[in-house]
Amino acid sequence: MLRALLTLLFCSLLSPSTFATALPIPGNGVVLRIQGSNTIGAALGPALAKGLMEEQGLLKVHREPSGNANEQRLVGQTAQGQRVVIDIAAHGSSTGFLALHSANADLAASSRPIKDNERVALAALGDLKSPAAEQVVAIDGLAIILHPHNPLNQLNTEQLARIFSGEIPTWEALGGVGGPIQLYARDDQSGTYDTFKDLVLSGRGKALAGSARRFESSEQLSDAVSQDPQGIGFIALPYVRQAKAVAIVDGASQPMLPLTSLIATEDYPLSRRLYFYLPPTTHNPWAAALVRFAQSRQGQALVAANGFVAQTVQAMDVTASRQMPEGYQALAAKAQRLTVNFRFEEGSASLDNKARQDLSRVLDYLKLHAKLDRQVTLVGFGDAKADPQRAALLSKLRAMAVRRELVKGGVVLRDIRGFGAQMPVAANRDDEGRIKNRRVEVWVN
């Protein structure tokens, strides 16, 4: 009896996934249907689904083409030989919400937040903006790339919109040299193209110029730009390769390169969130299990392995510069900043859903590194107001809102600072920019 117990314990230490809570398998073997974003569904969604299936102890997990473009299935089998299937269709974010409405999906993958009209249309499934329903699973960021010998080092988002719409036709119009600008872009099926269109073109009433060369392959696009002295393109972060990435400015923000740390904090102008939407009324335990797995350490490791930015909290050094307020420079000289920003719901002092998820990650980090007692400084920022003192007060109040939540987890704060509208990371011309500027940073000694 003792030997049997020891054997069981030893095996569980070697293979914890083998003893994960077993999920039910219906008679037809199809346990989960995911529809929506191309960005998620092409590789990340299948990788997460495969990880969950392996955690469940399924054998011979592999991908099978479904016969339709942008659709695939993950297939495994139980120890008894029963076939288990997860179907994934990646035809765009809006199709995920339509599939939830028609009961053709259990989980929606989206590379943008749910729209108000979609939320209303799906109200019978529960509130899809609730913290349990709206799950940020990864952060994405785009790099703007040039030929490595192009002398330009930065561009702003307004210039990007005019360049890629064809309104700025030559490098000389940007203060450079080289004659006509040659545009390189991903194809219409690409989530990378969707990201660029959403973040740069659509909000400014622009459309991609018909002269742009379109690519299905990220690698081919990047290599083509790196060999064309007149070329410019946009690409997901892992595919910069031999090209030159430029810093991006949005409004009055500082120029920012597409660094993983700046994408993780969502300060980089061309960053965005990737979501799973889990209807509160769902009765599919596999859908809830996939969301849980995506948020786990194993799931976030797969996020990073697939070229996106994981939500793992780390400490980073920040180099002080004269553009920073003196108090911020002093903080940067003696402390480290965590790779997370707390942001807020639109028009509210309440933390948004990603911030609620990040609270537990920050608390875990602080506990692991013994930073609970007077080692944390919160730094609040906001959007510009007519009265700078009011902006400073509101920024400090946002930091105090985060303080209230951290105190519940046993944190004793070292300090709380508010820098108002200083150091913006986005233009204040629209709600999206103002929301990005309303943020709270976490610093540790």
Q: Which residues pair with 442 in a beta bridge?
A: 378
Q: Which residue has the tokens 């120890």?
A: 79
What is the DSSP secondary-structure string of 53-121? Answer: HHHTT-EEEEEEE-SSTTEEEEEEE-TT--EEEEEEE-S-HHHHHHHHHTT--SEEEESSPPPHHHHHH
Task: Please state, in angstroms and rounded to a whole number, the distance separating the CA atoms of residues 220 and 88.
Answer: 26
Predicted confidence (pLDDT) at residue 376 exceeds the cutoff of 60: yes
What is the identity of the amino acid at 244? K
State the pLDDT at residue 391: 87
What is the identity of the amino acid at 290? L
Q: What percent of the chain has pLDDT over 90?
A: 74
Predicted confidence (pLDDT) at residue 18 exceeds the cutoff of 80: no
Contact 85, 31 (CB under 8 A): yes
pLDDT-based confidence at residue 218 (cuts at 50, 70, 90):
confident
Question: Residue 128: how many CB atoms within 10 A of its CB?
Answer: 25
Q: What percent of the chain has pLDDT over 70?
A: 95
Q: Which residue has the tokens 């890629």?
A: 164
- The two structure tokens encoding residue 237: 């972060």
Judge if pTM exceeds 0.95: no
Nearest to 367 by CA among 444, 271, 283, 263: 444
How confident is the model over 93-115, as pLDDT tens digits? 899 999 999 999 999 999 888 99
Q: For residues 434 and 191, which has the higher predicted lDDT (pLDDT)? A: 434
Q: For residues 42 and 256, which has the higher predicted lDDT (pLDDT)? A: 256
Return the minimum-mean-pLDDT range out of 74-88, 150-164, 173-187: 173-187
State the pLDDT at residue 9: 37
Query: Does the fold of domain 140-264 match that of domain 15-133+278-305?
Result: yes
- Beta-strand ranges (E) seen in 310-434 are 315-316, 336-343, 373-381, 412-418
Predicted confidence (pLDDT) at residue 427 exceeds the cutoff of 90: no
How confident is the model over 228-254, as pLDDT tens digits? 999 999 988 878 899 999 999 998 899
Nearest to 139 by CA among 364, 312, 291, 256: 312
CATH homologous superfamily for the domain 140-264: Periplasmic binding protein-like II (3.40.190.10)
The residue ranges of every structural domain in the chain are 15-133+278-305, 140-264, 313-444
State the pLDDT at residue 170: 97
Mean local confidence (pLDDT), 318-341: 95
How confident is the model over 37-58, as pLDDT tens digits? 888 998 999 999 999 999 999 9
Task: Please state, in angstroms and rounded to a whole number, the distance separating the CA atoms of residues 340 and 333.
Answer: 19
Length of the chain: 445
How confident is the model over 389-411, as pLDDT tens digits? 888 999 999 999 999 999 999 99
Task: Please state, in angstroms and rounded to a whole number, the distance separating the CA atoms of residues 194 and 111.
Answer: 9
Mean local confidence (pLDDT), 341-367: 93
Residues with Cβ within 8 Å of 306's Cβ and at least 6 positions away in sequence, in order, are: 43, 44, 47
Task: Please state, in angstroms and rounded to a whole number, the distance separating the CA atoms of residues 166 and 212.
Answer: 9
Task: Please state, in angstroms and rounded to a whole number, the distance separating the CA atoms of residues 408 and 322.
Answer: 36
How confident is the model over 118-134, as pLDDT tens digits? 999 999 999 999 999 99
- The two structure tokens encoding residue 422: 């200083």
pLDDT-based confidence at residue 177 (cuts at 50, 70, 90):
confident
Mean local confidence (pLDDT), 68-88: 95
Q: Which H or E element spans position 355?
A: helix 353-368
Q: Give the CATH class of 313-444.
A: alpha beta
State the pLDDT at residue 11: 39
SS3 394: helix
Task: Please state, in angstroms and rounded to a whole number, the distance separating the CA atoms of residues 181 and 170.
Answer: 5
Q: Which H or E element spans position 154?
A: strand 154-156
How confident is the model over 56-73, as pLDDT tens digits? 999 999 999 888 888 999
- The two structure tokens encoding residue 197: 């269109």
- The two structure tokens encoding residue 293: 């797995």
State the pLDDT at residue 20: 63
Classify residue 198 by its DSSP letter.
I
How confident is the model over 263-301, as pLDDT tens digits? 999 999 999 899 999 999 999 999 999 999 999 999 999
What is the identity of the amino acid at 110? S
pLDDT-based confidence at residue 3 (cuts at 50, 70, 90):
very low
Predicted confidence (pLDDT) at residue 175 exceeds the cutoff of 90: no
Task: Please state, in angstroms and rounded to a whole number, the distance separating the CA atoms of residues 353 and 343.
Answer: 9
Mean confidence (pLDDT) of the chain:
91
Number of H helices, E strands in the chain: 15, 18
Architecture field, domain 15-133+278-305: 3-Layer(aba) Sandwich (3.40)
Predicted confidence (pLDDT) at residue 188 exceeds the cutoff of 50: yes
Predicted confidence (pLDDT) at residue 260 exceeds the cutoff of 70: yes
Predicted confidence (pLDDT) at residue 8 exceeds the cutoff of 70: no
Task: Please state, in angstroms and rounded to a whole number, the distance separating the CA atoms of residues 157 and 164.
Answer: 11
State the pLDDT at residue 404: 96
Q: For residues 51 and 434, which has the higher predicted lDDT (pLDDT)? A: 51
